[in-house]
């Protein structure tokens, strides 16, 4: 009697799935990843990260086949097993984008950028989502977003090290610099987030009364509790413009744009500050970047005309 063939190990099934994926056989790849998941789940040595990778790989196959709903489900499972896995965030973002769930896609792209700010696909996705959400919800679209999760420092460092070790960086020096730049910002607790929000709202109230210097103090205190809140920087920049502290306004807008490259308010306010500092070239560059995202932004078009007259 012929000997019964042993089932392939999950690693062999995964490898076979990878080969099918590379040659465009996405349906076959999906089947092999499904078998690999079953084998690994039966194993006594199952590792959450290995399982997360298999779900993420199957999600990629679903995405290539246009099955975006299943892709989202697999990415959800992958991220539950191993939070903040960049590939799963990017695959889910792409699926959400295809399903026209632009707010969710924006959040996943932005979360991925917290882990590695050099991911071109995440920058491009953020810019596309910014444009789509502006068209759908108007200038106040950010107010309708669910909260963007803060990636803990320990996670960012570990994932950055893994990424550096497993795949080539387009610019290793820049990646290292950005890693260091982010490392001085601690993970934000719920308590700090609430305190930061309360102080920010106090600042917003002072702005409405025209008390810009007091508002600056509130925003500064808020940022001590949550240094990763983009809108606090753009709000403080507005105050700096109002009290003619233009260099400080440029600094705050630049910090906001480091975290959110498609932030229209930061681009516009930095352009205003550059104009006041008589740096026409920088002013025009910021306005051109803004107008690529919002070609009909009347305030930006008007400021651009004023800046170009001074050339």
Domains of the chain: 10-146 (1.25.40.10), 225-309 (1.25.40.10)
Q: What DSSP letter does each residue of the chain carry, written as one string?
A: -PPPPPPPPHHHHHHHHHHHHHTT-HHHHHHHHHHHHHHHHH-TT--HHHHHHHHHHHHHHHHHTT-HHHHHHHHHHHHHHSTT-HHHHHHHHHHHHHTT-HHHHHHHHHHHHHH-TT-HHHHHHHHHHHHHHHHHH-TTGGGGSPPPPPPPHHHHHHHHHHHHHHS--S-HHHHHHHHHHHHTSPPPPHHHHHHHHHHHHHHHHHHHTT-HHHHHHHHHHHHHH-TT-HHHHHHHHHHHHHTT-HHHHHHHHHHHHHH-TT-HHHHHHHHHHHHHTT-HHHHHHHHHHHHHH-TT-HHHHHHHHHHHHT-
Question: pLDDT tens per residue, the chain (311 residues)?
Answer: 454 455 588 999 999 999 999 988 999 999 999 999 999 998 877 789 999 999 999 999 999 888 999 999 999 999 999 989 999 999 999 999 999 999 999 999 999 988 888 888 889 899 999 999 998 888 888 888 888 888 887 777 776 666 555 433 333 323 322 222 333 344 567 788 889 889 999 999 998 999 999 999 999 999 998 888 888 999 999 999 999 999 999 999 998 888 877 788 899 999 999 999 999 999 999 999 888 878 888 888 999 999 888 65
What is the model's pTM? Answer: 0.54
């Amino acid at each position: 009697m012929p000997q019964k063939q042993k089932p392939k190990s999950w690693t062999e099934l995964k490898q076979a799935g990878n080969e099918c994926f590379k040659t465009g056989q996405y349906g076959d790849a999906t089947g092999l990843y499904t078998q690999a998941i079953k084998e690994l789940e039966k194993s006594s040595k199952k590792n959450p990260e290995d399982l997360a990778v298999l779900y993420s790989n199957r999600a990629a196959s679903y995405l290539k086949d246009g099955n975006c709903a299943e892709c989202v489900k697999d990415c959800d499972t992958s991220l539950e097993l191993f939070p903040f896995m960049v590939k799963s965030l990017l695959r889910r973002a792409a699926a959400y984008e295809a399903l026209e769930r632009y707010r969710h896609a924006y959040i996943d792209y932005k979360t991925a950028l917290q882990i590695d700010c050099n991911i071109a696909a995440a920058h491009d996705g953020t810019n596309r989502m910014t444009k789509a959400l502006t068209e759908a919800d108007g200038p106040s679209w950010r107010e309708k977003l669910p909260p963007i999760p803060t990636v803990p420092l320990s996670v960012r460092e570990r994932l950055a090290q893994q990424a550096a070790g497993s795949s080539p960086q387009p610019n290793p020096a820049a990646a290292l610099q950005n890693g260091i730049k982010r490392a001085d910002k601690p993970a934000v607790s719920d308590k700090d987030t609430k305190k930061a929000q309360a102080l920010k709202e106090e600042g917003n109230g002072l702005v409405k009364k025209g008390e810009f210097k007091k508002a600056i103090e509130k925003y500064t205190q808020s940022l001590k509790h949550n240094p990763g809140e983009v809108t606090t920087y753009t709000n403080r920049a507005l105050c700096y413009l109002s009290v003619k502290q233009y260099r400080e306004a440029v600094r705050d807008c630049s910090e906001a744009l480091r975290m959110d490259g498609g932030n229209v308010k930061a681009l516009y306010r930095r352009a205003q500050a550059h104009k006041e500092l008589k740096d026409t070239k920088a002013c025009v560059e910021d306005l051109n970047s803004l107008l690529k995202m919002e070609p009909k932004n009347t305030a930006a078009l008007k400021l651009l005309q004023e800046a170009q007259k001074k050339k």
